[in-house]
Structure 1
Amino acid sequence: MTPVERLLRTKPTERIVAEGGHGEGGDLRRTMSLWQLTLFSVGATLGTGIFVILGQAVPKAGPAVVLAFVLAAFTALLSALSYAELAGTIPVSGSSYSYAYATLGELVAWVCGWCLMLEYAVSVAAVAVGWGEYLNAFLSSLAGVVLPDAITRSPGQDGGVVNVTAIVIVLLATWLLLRGASESATANAFFVLIKIAVLLFFCVVAFTAFRSGNLAPFAPMGVAGITAAASQVFFSYIGFDAASTAGEEARNPKRDLPLAIVLSLAIVTAVYVLVALAAVGAMPWTDFDPEGTEASLSYVADLAMGATWPGLIVSFGAVVAIASVVLTVIYGQTRILFAMSRDGLIPRVFQRVSPRRQVPVANTLIVAAFISVLAGLVPLGQLAEATSIGTLFAFAIVNVGVLVLRYRSPELPRSFRTPFFPATPVLGAIMCVVVMAGLAGVTWLAFALWMLVGLVCYFLYGYGHSRLNAEVR
């Protein structure tokens, strides 16, 4: 085969599925139920975004921010349906990396996997960095305690030395992950139920101050304002694909993975729309300040009740929300690396499974160490924002992958089929490109640099160690 043919060679779907669950030294354990898989995706999606995003989105759309969340959900749904089909057809840990390998070839799969590293590792480090700020806000409201800047901020920030709080939450998540997939899923379910309860509590409080007059005019900025707000809140939906990284630890992956992906998006959308409606109904949209903290859910809750204790409960929900995101996203990162290692594209250490714990221990520790360094010592800046492009690129690849696999292998058994094919995946890919095009130039530059580093890594290591390429030499 020519070098170009090797780069574009796909891995047979049957082989990807057959290798599922098997690592070096042991196998992963199938323990996750549909309920746990659904809450895994909800845990990765329902993060701090909803606690702060309203303050930035409401001034763009006014009360019609509710429609902006619905529009963003529709955009996410297009890709979610494609994920559901491929997750049911190729139920393995690699998520969109494995789907790309089966449909578009090794080089595209590597680029997709590299994008997922950006989405998972860098974004979770950025989220962990913010945990100290939310913890400070909660402790300050609860007991007047404020942690020093030296341990809650990264070097380069005012007073920052080492962001110890970010490292602590990463280490706590790592400890849970090392105990086993089932234990991690149980802990995540507990976290998710708490933050959903907190958000429902906010809705109850805010609806006590609901004024229909606050919803008029409903769309002061028109359709343009709604679409601008939808582009912003779209990133609050990123994470619904987390269940697809658990394909080799699900009890009934062909049935449960598609259901978990779609159900998690439905749950998150319902919560977002309810919270948005409660917030804009309780406080005039003109009072939402995108530059300040006045528009946080805590502030709206306090305003609605005329007391400070509701905001304290909401702040606690934000602290729990970050913990859940850190746990689920680190899990997803380790399983994607597990699949890439099994294909030979990264070192074998990432596919080693502990026979006793039935989890990739070395993989988890390496990822935790890397994220801890990022979160504790590195100001992430534009690189963290570039995770948005990385995620959207992976979404686009999955939409294209559905098209390719349907036409190339129509005989494959599929437990879920994307409705309105081929319109749904085509529109899904187009919407991903449209949202990507609206991102800032400096974000594109950070993404381009990340891709350049990824291609260098592939040609220095992955191309020469690929198991698929080794078979044709």
Structure 2
Amino acid sequence: MASKIFARKSINKLLQEAEGGHSDGHGGHTLKRTLSATNLIMLGIGAIIGTGIFVLTGSAAAQFAGPGLVLSFIIAGIGCAFAGLCYAEFASMIPIAGSAYTYGYATLGELVAWIIGWDLILEYMFGAATVAVGWSGYLVSFLRDLGINIPPMWWNAPGIELVQDPKSQAWLQITDQLTQSYASQGLNIVTLPHATGVFNLVAAGAILLVTVILVIGIQESAKFNNFIVFIKLFVVFAFVLAGGYFIFRNPELAADNWTPFVPENTGEFGHYGWSGILRAAGVIFFAYIGFDAVSTAAQEAKNPQRDMPIGILGSLVICTILYILVSGILTGLVDYRKLNVAEPIALGIEATGYSILTDLIKIGAVAGLGSVMLVLLLGQPRIFYSMSRDGLIPPFFGKIHPRFQTPYVSSILIGVVCAITAGALPIAQLGEMTSIGTLLAFVIVCGGVWYLRVKEPDRPRPFRTPLVPLVPILGIVVCLAMMAGLNIHTWYRLLGWLAIGLVVYFLYSRHHSKLNKNNNLPDAN
């Protein structure tokens, strides 16, 4: 039994498929190699610059780290650098669509591949729900500027208690820290307008709309993605320049908002202090998951052995620098206790008084987050398709629509579940679930590189992760440390999700695995 559940896919056969040695087994052809290193960097930036920078910076600063969020981004960036180096080795060595799922199947065996595939559902589906919640915040804020007010109970999760800020008119989630902030200004929070969330219809509607688009079919090109990336980068640079200039002109405001840089711990692990910085690093790690999208495009890269490491590491470096700048400027512009909103970047630019940029940033965020939502909801059915092709989940998940030529069954199923999730859960819970799922996948990828170096040291590696096993070990340690900093309830949800996955594997997947149905299991070479 052990030999079956840890059976590995043949790397050589995977490489033959990547080079067009035969069809995909479904009468189709291999993917066309059209993406350059620049395309891959832009793809990575396009996927990384999204909810993490436009949304989670605010909630992580307000609830966990304060201005010390800058340090959280540095910690998360270091963890990503180690994981990115490991991803780069795999992507150049096994340039196949499927990312961590394929790497796991080819190196650590079927059970590990199943765990990664099951875990990636958290990354993509909960990730899309998180993006939708952030998207709804920016859209509602933009509509408010146009005089169209959507009642706050219909763009917030059930039970969320809100108060309307008298200055910005934004609806903020009520916390002890926010109450204290108002009290220090001589305001009694009880006297301000209140509301309670019922269901985030705006976020749920966005998911369903994107799902319809994906079922009907959408043809994306590298040029279109590059256009969206430029819009997002323009918005981020506009915020950095405008916010930085305002802070330069008003250093006393920033000094006040940055003091203390690491707020004193409340007595509870993860709420400010250094444990808060660690927890925030785990929460905002969600911001970095986009570089995983680069590895999924390995089979479409012109020269994957050279271009994949450039795409992964290049996009990671650029985005880490931008994240550090944005988080530092944002917490300098606005009291961190007021940043627990769905549109913190818009709130930050409003604090500068540069009203001409406010709507521009909101429009850019709506467009940028919309593209990320599309990419995530596009990616999840592809993973289901790969798993169903391998026999690990029922074949209807890979069923293709006869007219639209899209995996419509899995797209609709994912869309409906994701819409309910986006409408019912607050962004903090969604972000943490996405982060812990991503961190677990990164731990497994780092372990896979180390394992394969020992198991097959002579296999050609166009890109070699430096200092093995040190770099994979550091990647595992840093990612596990960030996982340890997350809420215990997030761990319970992860373990519960993995337990359900193992039940599904041993009751269904193990018996339907196409790899194990072959009497002569392919070797691991």
Deviations 1:182-224 (A, max 9, x none): x254333222211111010111111221245535768455982
Match of 2:347 in 1: 299
Residue type of the alignment partner of 1:249: E
CA shift for structure 1 position 235: 2.9
- Paired with 1:394 and 1:412, the residues of 2 have a C-alpha distance of 23
Match of 2:192 in 1: none
- Paired with 2:242 and 2:468, the residues of 1 have a C-alpha distance of 43
The yes-or-no answer on 1:335 pairing with 2:382 is: yes
CA shift for structure 1 position 170: 5.0
- Kindly report which structure 2 residues correspond to 1:278-317, keeping only aligned pairs within 5 A, or say none: 278-282=329-333, 287-290=335-338, 292-293=340-341, 296-304=344-352, 306-317=353-364
Select the residue among 506, 510, 513 that pairs with 1:466: 513
Match of 1:319 in 2: 366
- The answer on whether the counterparts of 1:341 and 1:348 sit within 8 Å (CA) in structure 2 is yes
Match of 1:241 in 2: 292
CA shift for structure 1 position 80: 0.8
CA shift for structure 1 position 449: 1.8
The yes-or-no answer on 1:114 pairing with 2:118 is: yes
Residue type of the alignment partner of 1:369: I
Residue type of the alignment partner of 1:197: F
Select the residue among 126, 136, 140 that pairs with 1:136: 140
Percent identity (aligned): 40
SS at match of 2:26: coil
CA shift for structure 1 position 17: 2.5
- The answer on whether the counterparts of 2:105 and 2:112 sit within 8 Å (CA) in structure 1 is yes
CA shift for structure 1 position 87: 0.9
Match of 2:236 in 1: 199
Select the residue among 424, 441, 451 that pairs with 2:498: 451
TM-score (norm 2): 0.78
- The answer on whether the counterparts of 2:442 and 2:476 sit within 8 Å (CA) in structure 1 is yes
Deviations 1:364-389 (A, max 9, x none): x2343123212433424656632222
CA shift for structure 1 position 245: 1.3
- Paired with 1:207 and 1:67, the residues of 2 have a C-alpha distance of 18
Match of 2:213 in 1: 175
- The answer on whether the counterparts of 2:214 and 2:378 sit within 8 Å (CA) in structure 1 is no
- Paired with 2:56 and 2:82, the residues of 1 have a C-alpha distance of 22
The yes-or-no answer on 1:97 pairing with 2:145 is: no
CA shift for structure 1 position 355: 11
Larger radius of gyration: 2
Match of 1:51 in 2: 54
- Paired with 1:93 and 1:25, the residues of 2 have a C-alpha distance of 17
Residue type of the alignment partner of 1:128: A
- Kindly report which structure 2 residues correspond to 1:238-277, keeping only aligned pairs within 5 A, or say none: 238-277=289-328
Instruction: Quickly say closer, same or farther: Cα 1:252–1:159, change in 2 above 3 A.
Output: same
CA shift for structure 1 position 81: 0.7
CA shift for structure 1 position 257: 2.0
CA shift for structure 1 position 148: 5.7
Structure 1 window deviating more from structure 2 (168-177 vs 309-318): it is 168-177
Select the residue among 132, 146, 149 that pairs with 1:146: 149
Instruction: Quickly say closer, same or farther: Cα 1:376–1:153, change in 2 above 3 A.
Output: farther
CA shift for structure 1 position 351: 5.1
Instruction: Quickly say closer, same or farther: Cα 1:23–1:274, change in 2 above 3 A.
Output: farther
The yes-or-no answer on 1:123 pairing with 2:127 is: yes
Select the residue among 223, 227, 232 that pairs with 1:186: 223
Select the residue among 36, 39, 43 that pairs with 1:36: 39
- Paired with 1:270 and 1:291, the residues of 2 have a C-alpha distance of 21
Residue type of the alignment partner of 1:417: R
- Paired with 2:207 and 2:279, the residues of 1 have a C-alpha distance of 33
TM-score (norm 1): 0.86
- Paired with 1:301 and 1:194, the residues of 2 have a C-alpha distance of 17
- Paired with 1:65 and 1:446, the residues of 2 have a C-alpha distance of 25
Select the residue among 189, 204, 210 that pairs with 2:247: 210
Gaps of 5+ in 1: none
Gaps of 5+ in 2: 161-195, 265-272, 521-525
Aligned Cα root-mean-square deviation (Å): 3.2
Match of 1:27 in 2: 29
- Paired with 1:217 and 1:173, the residues of 2 have a C-alpha distance of 45
CA shift for structure 1 position 45: 1.8
Aligned length: 461
Deviations 1:12-37 (A, max 9, x none): 21122233472513124323333332
Match of 2:14 in 1: 16
CA shift for structure 1 position 57: 4.5
